[in-house]
Amino acid sequence: MQLFRFANPAFLYLLLLLPVMIILWTVNERRKRKALRRLGDIGLVRKLMPEYSAVRPGLKFLFSLLAMALMILTLARPQFGSRLEEVKKQGVEVIIALDVSNSMLAEDIQPDRLTRARQALNRLIDRLENDRIGLIVFAGDAYTQIPITTDYVSAKMFLSSVSPDLVPKQGTAIGSAIDLGIRSFTPGEDKSRAMIIISDGENHEDDPVAAAAEASRAGIVIHTIGIGSPEGVPVPVHTGGRKEYLKDHEGNTVITKLDEETLKKIAVSTSGTYIRAGISGLGLDEVYNEIRKMKKQDMESKMYTEYNDQFRFFAIAALIFLFAEFIIMDRKNRKLANIKLFSYKL
């Protein structure tokens, strides 16, 4: 299926200049004809002006108009067609495991833990170049949101839609996220692989330290980022336009606290780094620097290029019309008078 679009469609508004130019040229031509009629009989005037041509100025204007239209289309960058390219790059594989449990809605980090994490991850993805990235979301269970890919645009798009609603079972199963991450990497002992876990660390479902030990044996480095406050804060919920706080089955307000010890043990067991998110930043810059120190590996990937530039054809056609407009003179050339360029009388 052939697809078509303009990469810079705003330039197409310049096409509105073409009817204006046509109107101005038509008004000017009528004015010149009236001026000729005032000199006397048109037939006699033309005999007195043997080099006069009524067609050539119109033809030059038409070529100029077509050249201008084609140049505008060139600036708009027409694109069509599709192709699949195989690209060889050097980088590492990075899987982000993001906690989306209800506790990540706590507002001890503004605007809330989850929103702040999404914003920081967006900036991290912008800095990646040749690396592959994957996204896992977890609460009571872990799910692959994006498999390992080099499509950063899609990664950011999916990241923007991440919310606690994605995982029906609440809780914080960090171990499940690690297990899923181990299975999600490309198999091979010579691979450079890293996981980034962003969570408040409140684990209620499994043994994340044991899962981290398994990841270490697989050669995976896990960096953990603790987000939240150790003192604890309530978890806001919005019902009917009102702000309330999450309560347990007994009616007590749920207080969510940052469990730094668990996150530190996970990082240490895989030779990774633990960083506590602060007010000024999440600490992803430090994690990024650690990932950059890892050994790069050759990675072949197929990149789907949906649109290909085809503006060169429009640019060539525009140059042809400009050249034609340049070589055609307004008046007849006496030396070429016997050469009939046109099939009708000028």
Q: Quick check: 323 and 91 in contact, CB under 8 A?
A: no
Q: Quick check: 188 and 196 in contact, CB under 8 A?
A: no
What residues have CB less than 8 Å from 220, skipping those under 6 apart? Answer: 181, 182, 185, 193, 194, 195, 270
- Residue 320, Cβ density class (10 Å: 0-12 exposed, 13-18 middle, ≥19 buried): middle
Residue type, 293: K
pLDDT tens, residue by residue, 56-103: 888 889 999 999 999 999 999 888 766 656 667 788 999 999 999 999
> Is the bond preceding 111 in cis, omega lying within 30 degrees of 0?
yes
Q: Quick check: 139 and 164 in contact, CB under 8 A?
A: yes
* The predicted structure's pLDDT at residue 344: 45
- Could you give the CA distance from residue 333 to residue 304 in angstroms, rounded to a whole number? 56
pLDDT band at 282 (very low <50, low <70, confident <90, very high): confident
- Judge whether residue 156 has pLDDT over 70: yes
- Could you give the CA distance from residue 159 to residue 98 in angstroms, rounded to a whole number? 10
Q: What is the mean pLDDT of residues 11-34?
A: 90
Domains of the chain: 4-81+308-336 (no CATH), 85-302 (3.40.50.410)
pLDDT tens, residue by residue, 102-136: 999 999 888 999 999 999 999 999 998 888 999 99
pLDDT tens, residue by residue, 286-317: 999 999 898 887 766 655 556 677 888 889 99
Q: Quick check: 262 and 223 in contact, CB under 8 A?
A: no
* The predicted structure's pLDDT at residue 342: 46
Distances, alpha carbon 289 to alpha carbons 102, 127, 272, 275, in Å: 30, 11, 12, 13
pLDDT band at 179 (very low <50, low <70, confident <90, very high): very high
